[in-house]
Amino acid sequence: MLETSFINIHTHHSIHIDGTLSILNCFPEQIKIGNNNERGISIGLHPWHVNKDNASSMIDLIKTVASEKNVLAIGEIGLDRTIDMPLDIQEKYFIEQIEIAENLNKPLIIHCVKYFSELLSIKKRVKGSTPWLIHGFRKNRKIASMLLEQNCYLSFGEALLFDKNNQNLFIEMPLDKIFLETDDSENTISEVYNKAAHIKGLQLEVLKAKLFDNYKTVFNANK
Ligand SMILES: [Zn+2]
């Protein structure tokens, strides 16, 4: 991996693109035991899936495979106010997975919808040490500041291409606390990087080098 690589911190598309280091998100049902894949992945039980009867066995499965070398992060996991699932149940599985990440010293990739103060109160309560990356960040300045104050990283995605509010917020974001991603978008990570560099008024190569440093800080330091 080079500092000239694009880093796609969160994608659901398994296609490999030269010059890109991407972290492929896998839900537990997509995990193959004995996965010796070189491909960097994240694994986690998404809040949308915790209503399944087998949530506990999914957590056990995650525990079993999470220590594998190519599992770079635990995620996407988190809290979502827009689903029909009580907060306490969402929190239970979220916290169990935070513990897995803490035990292995691997970062978390977080999905959070309208539960940011609940998210941060958990963060303060668990007093963990692994980095938290909030993926697909599209909220306002106030929420961004709250998260940054608690040492979270913010990952920006396709909204940067068209959402003026997201673009304006991105200008103010500290370069040492951000990542870029495509999630399930059809846009490429190169499009997101080019737009991000333009918004920040940076050369593409400078942005790549900065995000590469962030990647080293968050991931390599934990190896
Ligand atoms: Zn996703």
Q: Is 184 within a domain?
A: yes
Q: Is 1 within a domain?
A: no
From 100, 97, 216, select the one nearest 153 (Cα to Cα).
216
Question: How far does the centroid of ligand 1 lie from the alpha carbon of residue 220, in Å?
Answer: 22
pLDDT value of residue 82? 96
User: pLDDT tens-digit profile of 172-181?
Assistant: 999 999 999 9
User: pLDDT tens-digit profile of 21-70?
Assistant: 999 999 887 776 555 567 899 999 999 988 768 899 999 999 999 999 99
Cβ-proximal residues to 25 (8 Å cutoff; 6+ apart), any chain: 10, 11, 12, 41, 42, 43, 44, 75, 76, 109
Token reading at 136? 């697909």
The CATH number linked to 212 is: 3.20.20.140
The predicted model gives 87-111 an average pLDDT of 97
pLDDT value of residue 187? 95
| Mean pLDDT computed over every residue of the chain | 93
Q: Is 2 within a domain?
A: no
Domain that holds residue 17: 8-222
Question: How far does the centroid of ligand 1 lie from the alpha carbon of residue 10, in Å?
Answer: 6
Q: What is the pTM of this model?
A: 0.94
Residues with CB under 5 A from ligand 1 (ion): 183
Q: Is 3 within a domain?
A: no
CA distance 157 to 43: 19
